[in-house]
Amino acid sequence: MGGSDRIVCRDCGRTIARKNLKKHYVRFHPGVDPHRRMAQERSEEVLQHDRRRNVLVIGTVAAVLVLLIAAWFAVPPLTENILDLLKDDDKEDKRPIFYTSEDGAVINATWWDSGVEGSPTVYLVHDIGGSREQWSDHAKELVERGYNVLAMDLRGHGGSRLNIKDPDIYYDHRTMTEAEFMNISKDFYGAYRWVHGDDLKGRPNTRAGELGGMIGIGKGGLLAFDRAWGMSRTGMNSAVLISPLLNVYGMDVEQAAENWGDIRPIMTSSSEGNGNTLRALRAIEERTPEKGVHVVVGGSASGMELLDSPTVRKAAFRTLEDGFSLVVPI
């Protein structure tokens, strides 16, 4: 209706003073309740407002849908890539963790879960100067093959700098002593203990099975291998050593290879242009005649670059599979 002082009669169109509304209806529209008529008009106004609002909302939604559909057809590769990323994120169970070594070193790591209870675990060990971040692509490929994966930052690398038992200790691989480097083997064993351990509430950290294998690069991998050879065949079934060396902070690499034995498979790899790793490979080969796989490729690649070779990577995966298929006597 009209303003606050004068209103327009809904039934005859006359403009009247609001205070005379009742007299107007008694005179010109007998039998009609003026207040009910006003309430009815207000209800209709509200209904019309809601209708206009709904039309606006529906129109906006339709416009957005049109734009999305147009974008879908205009840039299909981008849309597909986004969907693939979302799909991968849903599929991949990746989480950062930390644990402590026997001597208190706090080790940061990343755990990829295969999603299959009882599946084996592959432990990835970077070289001196590296970090766990370099393993991302290899870890995903291993998970696709049905394995759990744990990649660690060795002490003095990445996020592994502190010691829970001694707050004055700060690990830095650039200043670590030979003895501190040798303790890296404890970081590797700590990873195994975390996988098969419980959290503070007594719940298992993972659903992994007993079986384990390792892929290690350079000196870091060999320091881990120094602990791996002494683990049981159910705890560590196979070892892959990329770019091994004979001189590793006082570690007897040849003896460690001999101690590994001739039941569990082991693989080493070197490029033809890297004389130091070739010598180590030949020395290890002499001590692992039964289950040893030794892969030499052309060029001068080493470390992670060597593992990126399809030939080397294929042999590494085969070595892991052979180890996990071993029949271990009770």
DSSP 97: E
Residue 252 predicted with pLDDT over 80:
yes
Residue 52 has pLDDT above 80, yes or no: no
Contact predicate 151/135, CB 8 Å: yes
Q: Taking the model in full, what pTM does it have?
A: 0.72
CA 170 to chain centre: 27
Task: List Cβ neighbours of 305 (8 Å cut-off, separation of 6 or more).
Answer: none
* 157 vs 288: which has the higher pLDDT: 157
pLDDT tops 80 at residue 172: yes
Domain definitions of the chain by residue range: 6-72, 94-324
Least confident residue range of 23-27, 47-51, 77-81, 280-284 = 77-81
Read off the pLDDT of residues 95-127 as tens digits, 9 standing for 90 and up: 999 999 999 999 999 999 999 999 999 999 999
Residue 86, pLDDT above cutoff 50: no
Rounded to an integer, the average pLDDT of 205-224 is 97
* Mean per-residue pLDDT over the chain, rounded: 85
Instruction: Please state, in angstroms and rounded to a whole number, the distance separating the CA atoms of residues 303 and 305.
Output: 5
Fold of 94-324: Rossmann fold (3.40.50)
pLDDT above 70 covers what percent of the chain? 79
Report the length, in residues, of the chain: 330
Q: What is the reported pLDDT for 49?
A: 55
* Residue 127 DSSP code: P
Find the range with the poorest average confidence among 12-26, 168-182, 248-262: 12-26
Which has the closest alpha carbon to 269: 288, 287, 244?
244
The 3-state DSSP class for residue 283 equals helix
pLDDT, position 31? 74
